[in-house]
Amino acid sequence: MTRRNRDRDAEREEIRAAVERLLAGTPLRSTVGKLTGTELITECRLRRDVVYGDHKDLVDEFRARAKAQNFTPQVLQNMAAENAALREALAKTKADLASGRERVRALRRAAAELSLELEQAREELATARQITRLPGPRGAARS
Residue pLDDT, tens place only, 70-109: 656 777 778 889 999 999 999 999 999 999 999 999 999 9
Largest Cα–Cα separation, the chain: 136
pLDDT, tens digit (0-9, with 9 covering 90-100), for 11-47: 999 999 999 998 888 888 888 778 888 899 999 999 9
For 28, residues 6+ apart whose C-beta sits below 8 A from its C-beta are 21, 43
| pTM of the complete model beyond 0.85 | no
CA distances from 14 to 32, 44, 86, 93 (A): 19, 6, 37, 47
Tell me the domain boundaries of the chain: 8-68, 72-128
